[in-house]
Amino acid sequence: MFDRLQAVEDRYDKLNELLSDPEIVNDTKKLRDYSKEQSDIQETVEVYREYKEVKEQHKEARAMLEEKLDAEMREMVKEELDETGDRIEELEARLKILLIPKDPNDDKNVIMEVRGAAGGDEAALFAGDLFRMYSRYAESQGWKIEIMDASTTGVGGYKEIIFMISGKGAYSKMKFENGAHRVQRVPETESGGRIHTSTATVACLPETEEVEVDIHEKDIRVDTFASSGPGGQSVNTTMSAVRLTHLPTGIVASCQDEKSQIKNKEKAMKVLRARIYDKFQQEVQAEYDQQRKSAVGTGDRSERIRTYNFPQNRVTDHRIGLTIQKLDQILQGKMEDVIDALIFEEQSSRLESASDV
């Protein structure tokens, strides 16, 4: 492990040299690539350097114990030994996690698709609740939200809403939302006070660049139509809405959120590219059963991943057995407890898998 860490630190120092080279500074592509590589390993290098520093302090404290010291000084040195020893263990555990290969999509923006499923109007209202929860969480992280397409209902919910969250590490945190979400509550329209169960599904797709998905113009059918509001009400008499169909896969993406047909086509293309990339990724990942059946699991969208129980103010994530009595706060976007627990579980699972190899 420490040979690998030293190699990472050496590479970091080399990148520092390269990024100050005038030839590299004037080469936009190399400058971008080297800057990203340096950013990716910076945390590992910082933790490793702290580890070496604390290790040296621990070694010096051990050496001091062999000298003639008065009782007070000896006690202080022992305390330092204990503190540095504990810190060394913490840093070693952190370094093991940092050396685990990252999901290559983790640093990407994420395209999220939230749909009301079983439960009619109540499911659509719940889809709206989820969208607002994600929006507030994204805002707390300093991320930007852009609605790509939306289909509303007359009661104020969403049959479907597609939106992009842009910001560093957005996909790394939001990917765990992939799956079926269940809500248990008394609908406003329920006069008898009975608890209803409804569901909404969430899909999380990493935004992809053109170089990652090769889409030919001849393989795309473009249809235009007038955008409409709730209940089919026309809100735009011009043919600004766009539907794109990828003929080889049958994958469809549409957008009517913008007044401009060009902007709608651009947004629809982003969604289409992400869906095609996701299809290919799922086909590849299906071969790796161990990854697909990990404790967290981010692939199977039919999997019920979480229950939101309003009467008990409770959220339960079924993948890791986590229950939190803070439903009201979580729906306000305070999702850190849930997401941090899922990240920890994923890291632990990947660490265990790496040690078995």
Per-residue pLDDT at 306 exceeds 90 = yes
pTM above 0.95, yes or no: no
Could you tell me the CA-to-CA distances from 216 to 177, 220, 221, 281 in Å, in that order? 31, 7, 11, 19
Domain 108-286+293-357 carries which CATH code? 3.30.70.1660
pLDDT recorded at residue 232: 42
Q: What single letter denotes the amino acid at residue 35?
A: S
> How confident is the model over 268-287, as pLDDT tens digits?
888 888 888 888 777 766 65
Token pair belonging to 231: 């209940």
Per-residue pLDDT at 242 exceeds 50 = yes
Token pair belonging to 271: 């969604």
Distance (Å, whole) CA 23 – CA 269: 35
* Range list of H helices, 71-160: 71-98, 121-140
Token pair belonging to 349: 């699972």
DSSP 323: E
pLDDT recorded at residue 169: 87
SS3 165: strand
More confident residue, 210 or 275: 275
Distance (Å, whole) CA 116 – CA 159: 5
Nearest to 271 by CA among 301, 239, 298, 246: 246
The answer to whether 160 touches 113, Cβ cutoff 8 Å, is yes
Token pair belonging to 205: 């797709």
> How confident is the model over 320-344, as pLDDT tens digits?
999 999 999 999 999 999 999 998 8
Distance (Å, whole) CA 211 – CA 207: 12
Token pair belonging to 262: 């060009």
Per-residue pLDDT at 233 exceeds 80 = no
SS3 77: helix
Domain range summary for the chain, segments of one domain joined by +: 2-98, 108-286+293-357
Distance (Å, whole) CA 28 – CA 326: 47
Per-residue pLDDT at 100 exceeds 80 = no
Enumerate the β-bridge partners of residue 147: 163
CA 140 to chain centre: 14
Range 142-161 average pLDDT: 87
The answer to whether 327 touches 313, Cβ cutoff 8 Å, is yes
Range 206-223 average pLDDT: 78
pLDDT recorded at residue 353: 62
Give the mean pLDDT of the chain: 83
Range 17-41 average pLDDT: 87
Nearest to 175 by CA among 42, 305, 262: 305
Range 227-253 average pLDDT: 71
Token pair belonging to 82: 């204990």
Helix axes 71-98, 336-356, angle to 10 degrees: 80
